[in-house]
Chains A and B, each alone.
Chain A
């Protein structure tokens, strides 16, 4: 998993809950590098799971909730850090439709070893978008948070229905049905 996800996560914990909480969950998670993450590195996604679990223990919030919140926050951070991705994108559907075909393609150019989830999009109608998430790492909650962050960013009235699907081979799969209006 890209280091930026780790650094953004730690940033979020520190800014919302303080340095001591962050220090505590790092210590509790017993990470191999003691939490010294850098945005340009690549790390085992299990370490993030351990961090989230430690945060859940510290806050009493479920890991699903925490990851969802993190996803929302992460999107907001991306919109600031990678504003170029938003050029000529008018709404949430447009942006979400471009992730697999445009954004991930660019990511792979920079990080050929990046392990990215698949986000297949369909447009059943103008106001509907179906996103099929599939990844061996099962971060469906993170995807849900990112989608929510995206909707928030474009400030559109879009409802999201999440359906967890059966695993296909090693891949976790989640379907998101988005309806505008």
Chain B
């Protein structure tokens, strides 16, 4: 401190320095706090950046698409999917490699063309299909896009590729599934038709021939039902293998479904070859096969159609072979048939008949005729059977024998059966209203009607709607329809019987009745089939059967009714055997409604005295 400086100056100077120091300290503290806050912010920003970077890194690492980036021609980044795609064991195997070496020379031009100025441009473009080359040299098909980016401060290209190997394999598998039968590995219907169409086109161009052979196994359902589906499947596989052995490599063997197989013979040598192949198939199928430890003989029915004889449309040729197969089956199975025009005409006629039946229902072309049933003890008419007639404006009066089988197969029989029931009840009500002396009316029930377990409800409601007493209605069932599922048939019969109607077994003796079930059937009558009645007077066996059936009926407490009685001799013999009722031309053919009414009103019958004389 200088001596000539007054104390006051020194003390002021000290004061200033102290004040300045304090201000400096305050400023430093403030600055320090600011720095601390800035530091905190930086840390949190850093953490956020790290988290964000981690998130994006995870995305890039987890994404199944291969991503790799190259700068100045060298790979500088690759994600794990890229290592996998290129078969690199470690990142080092891929990093630093020549980027273009990863694309085969043939695809390089395409790859460079598919590289866009930036990501936005790349995203707007469809990905191109391209091959890349793995480090081991194998080529992999990929879906590719590339774009220019800045990476590590350098102009770079980002490449993105999706491995299509699995997708292609999946597509192939899908295509195989769509075109093949998975059980046998044979082509399916779609592929067969496709090949057939192509083969027809080629045959058209070259003037060559081809044949379609349709094979349907006989009684395959029985194998499935008795041995189970796994053995059924096994059999189908064996048949598939056998069929392949019957034809050349260039021919096609396909399975249409179920037990239906079809073969396409491309350009068979000579017109006899398809027949020879069919014979070979028949012979091969005839060789016994081992199934479930047992030998089984499988036969097949075979139908053949040929180009150009039978037309030039794949579907048509297949259908014609199918039609021919059906004919083979009809003619006793285990054989083959060539398609003929005659078969087509029959099919056409059948289709026309079926369409006619639909129209008949709509236009009310059906009509009921009635055939009286006569009691042999009293000679009086005690019942009648309502019989369906089709009065077609185009075909005239069509006999039931012609249209009933068609109706049965097309399932129209159910609707027709309902119509008959409805008409029968309506007729009974009408007659009752007009004072006609009633007798019970019998109607026939088809198998498919009987399969409907609600038949009893339908009968009950129809009777109620027309206010007809149940005792006026009788249902005639055939033997066969009740044997498919005897227990539920018996239950349905009991429900029908409970309504109060009567039941009879029709055409008795022609089916294969199980007598142990017969005794449990709650029926009232057995109707002896007219084929036995016809032979009664000159075939001793028929007489014996009729005698036995009458005795059987009586011992079960049922009435025996003989159908188709046409002569006085038949009538006399039936009376002598104790038959209860008859029906047939001898007394009356089936007659239209007015005639039946007249008959009932006149009280006409057989002369009981004459019957009594005969039996005496």
Contacts and interface: CB of A to CB of B under 8 A. Distances in A.
Most buried by A among B10, B12, B28: B12
Contacts of A41: 23-24, 27
A166 interface: no
A35 interface: yes
B120 interface: no
Contacts of B4: 20
Nearest to A39: B24
B13 to A, nearest CB: 6
A41 B5 CA distance: 28
A38 interface: yes
B396 interface: no
B3 to A, nearest CB: 12
Most buried by A among B10, B15, B19, B28: B19
B2 interface: yes
Interface string B9-53: 110110111111101100110010000000000000000000000
B332 interface: no
B27 A23 contact: no
Nearest to A22: B13
Contacts of A37: 20
A40 B28 contact: yes
B20 A20 contact: no
Interface of B: 2, 4-6, 9-10, 12-13, 15-21, 23-24, 27-28, 31
A90 B31 CA distance: 34
Interface string A23-41: 1001000000111111111
A82 B564 CA distance: 138
7 contacts: A18-B2, A19-B10, A20-B9, A23-B13, A34-B16, A34-B19, A36-B17
Secondary structure of the A contact surface, majority rule: loop
B5 A33 contact: no
Contact of B5 (A18, A34, A36): A18
Interface of A: 7, 18-20, 22-23, 26, 33-41
The 4 A-B pairs at the shortest CB distance, nearest first, are namely: A36-B19, A38-B24, A36-B20, A23-B9
A39 B31 CA distance: 14
Given A40-B24, A41-B27, A26 B5 contact: no
A35 B43 CA distance: 40
B127 to A, nearest CB: 48
A166 B2 CA distance: 47
Nearest to B23: A38
Contact of A19 (B9, B18, B23, B24): B9
Contact of A38 (B2, B15, B27): B27
Contacts of B13: 19, 22-23
A23 B18 CA distance: 15
A35 B18 CA distance: 11
Contacts, number: 45
B6 A20 contact: yes
Contacts of B24: 38-41
A51 B322 CA distance: 123
A26 B16 contact: yes
A38 B20 contact: yes
Contacts of A26: 16
Given A22-B13, A33-B23, A36-B23, 17 more contacts: A18-B2, A18-B5, A19-B5, A20-B5, A26-B16, A33-B19, A34-B12, A36-B15, A36-B17, A36-B19, A38-B20, A38-B23, A38-B24, A40-B28, A41-B23, A41-B24, A41-B27
A37 B10 CA distance: 16
Nearest to B18: A36
Contacts of B15: 34, 36
B225 to A, nearest CB: 95
B459 to A, nearest CB: 104
A17 B20 CA distance: 21
Contacts of A7: 20
Nearest to A24: B9
Given A19-B9, A19-B10, A20-B9, A40 B2 contact: no
Contacts of B5: 18-20
Contact of A40 (B9, B17, B18, B27): B27
B42 to A, nearest CB: 15
B396 to A, nearest CB: 115
Contacts of B20: 7, 36-38
Contacts of A40: 24, 27-28, 31
A26 B15 CA distance: 13
A18 B13 CA distance: 12
Nearest to A111: B31
A130 B4 CA distance: 48
Contacts of A18: 2, 5
Nearest to A38: B24
Contact of A35 (B16, B21, B28, B31): B16
A39 B25 CA distance: 11
A36 B10 contact: no
Most buried by B among A33, A36, A40, A41: A36
A34 to B, nearest CB: 6
A14 B18 CA distance: 17
A157 to B, nearest CB: 39
Contacts of A20: 4-6, 9
A12 B16 CA distance: 16
Contacts of B10: 19
Nearest to A37: B20
A141 B358 CA distance: 121
Nearest to A42: B27
Contacts of B17: 36
Nearest to A7: B20
A36 B23 CA distance: 8
A26 B12 CA distance: 10
Contacts of B16: 26, 34-36
A18 B497 CA distance: 144
Nearest to B9: A23
Most buried by A among B9, B13, B20, B27: B20
A162 to B, nearest CB: 34
B319 to A, nearest CB: 92
A34 B23 CA distance: 13
Contacts of A34: 12, 15-16, 19
A18 B24 CA distance: 24
Nearest to A110: B31
Contacts of B6: 20
Contacts of A38: 20-21, 23-24, 27
B392 to A, nearest CB: 109
A78 to B, nearest CB: 19
A128 B520 CA distance: 135
A112 to B, nearest CB: 10
Given A35-B16, A36-B16, A38-B27, A19 B21 contact: no
A54 to B, nearest CB: 15
A95 B9 CA distance: 40
B66 to A, nearest CB: 44
A7 B16 CA distance: 12
Contacts of B21: 38
A130 to B, nearest CB: 37
